[in-house]
């Protein structure tokens, strides 16, 4: 990712957020594999707006509230153990 100041959330900013999701998911998969678990990841989804809803179809998820100097956002992580 490029260290670039963004005054508003543009396509470049959304792409950077998606890449952050990829980095988190990829790192998590590596850690799980090292613990003996098999893991598959899906491409990140970015949802914008206070009224956005997300469904994980009965899969429990963890919501991680994150704060930056530019604002707050929530990272939703769903794990389906099969």
pLDDT digit string, tens, across residues 21-74: 888 888 888 998 999 988 887 777 777 777 877 777 788 888 889 888 878 888
The answer as to whether 5 is a domain residue is no
The answer as to whether 72 is a domain residue is yes
60, 76 Cβ separation under 8 angstroms:
no
The answer as to whether 44 is a domain residue is yes
Confidence of residue 6 (pLDDT cuts 50, 70, 90): low
Q: Strand, helix or coil at 15?
A: helix
Domain that holds residue 17: 11-78
Output DSSP code: residue 51. Answer: T
The answer as to whether 3 is a domain residue is no
Which one, of 56, 64, 60, lies nearest residue 81 by Cα? 60
The answer as to whether 47 is a domain residue is yes
Dihedral sign, CA of 4, 23, 17, 77? negative
How many structural domains does the chain have? Answer: 1
pLDDT at position 34, please?
94
The whole-model pTM stands at 0.61
The answer as to whether 29 is a domain residue is yes
The answer as to whether 43 is a domain residue is yes
pLDDT at position 9, please?
75
The answer as to whether 1 is a domain residue is no
């Amino acid at each position: 990712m490029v260290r670039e100041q963004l005054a508003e959330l543009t396509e470049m900013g959304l792409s950077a957020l998606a890449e952050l999701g990829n980095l988190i998911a990829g790192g998590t998969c590596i850690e799980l594999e090292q613990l003996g678990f098999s893991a598959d990841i899906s491409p990140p989804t970015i949802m914008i707006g206070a009224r956005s809803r997300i469904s994980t179809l009965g899969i429990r998820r963890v919501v991680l509230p994150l704060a930056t100097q530019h604002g707050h956002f929530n990272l939703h992580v769903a794990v389906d153990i099969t």
